[in-house]
Amino acid sequence: MFSESDLVTWIGNKTSYSTYLSEETSIDNLDLPVPRVYVGHLGIKLENPSQLHWDGYSGQENQEVLFTSIQFICKRSDLVTVRTNIKNAYNTFVVDDPNVSRVSFAEASVIEKNSDRIYWQEIVATIMPRMA
């Protein structure tokens, strides 16, 4: 696992975008500068949830996957550029644990939009081995 703050700092440094820990926000807050990025962990799931094992050895092979949300608000006309910059940033994020995978794309979707702005979410995944 890694600290949300580490990814916030990484994305902010790589993109120069205003980047924060996740909070409740809305696209309607028009006085905030864009792009704005929000990062926060969503939770952990098993790599193969249908293969839940209660014995120690089999269970260790079913790795945990940490899901993290990277949300951003930007002008609709800038979506492609902003998304590319953010994706390039999280794809180069290095977790300070050699047993943990790199952050990789899992899914993306629109949260909210209006005629000028779009509120977008990327969900990224990090695989963590269960062997201690």
pLDDT tens-digit map of 30-39: 567 789 999 9
Q: How far apart are CA 78 and CA 75, in angstroms?
A: 5
Cis peptide leading into 35, omega within 30 of 0?
yes
pLDDT tens-digit map of 10-32: 999 999 999 999 977 666 665 67
Q: How far apart are CA 82 and CA 78, in angstroms?
A: 6
Q: Give the residue with greater pLDDT, 94 vs 51.
A: 94
Q: Where are the alpha helices (DSSP H) in the chain?
A: 4-15, 56-60, 79-91
Provide the pLDDT for residue 129.
73
Instruction: Tell me the domains of the chain and their CATH numbers.
Output: 4-128 (3.30.2000.10)
pLDDT tens-digit map of 71-120: 999 999 999 999 999 999 999 998 888 888 899 999 999 999 999 999 99
Q: How far apart are CA 107 and CA 34, in angstroms?
A: 22
End-to-end Cα distance, the chain: 13
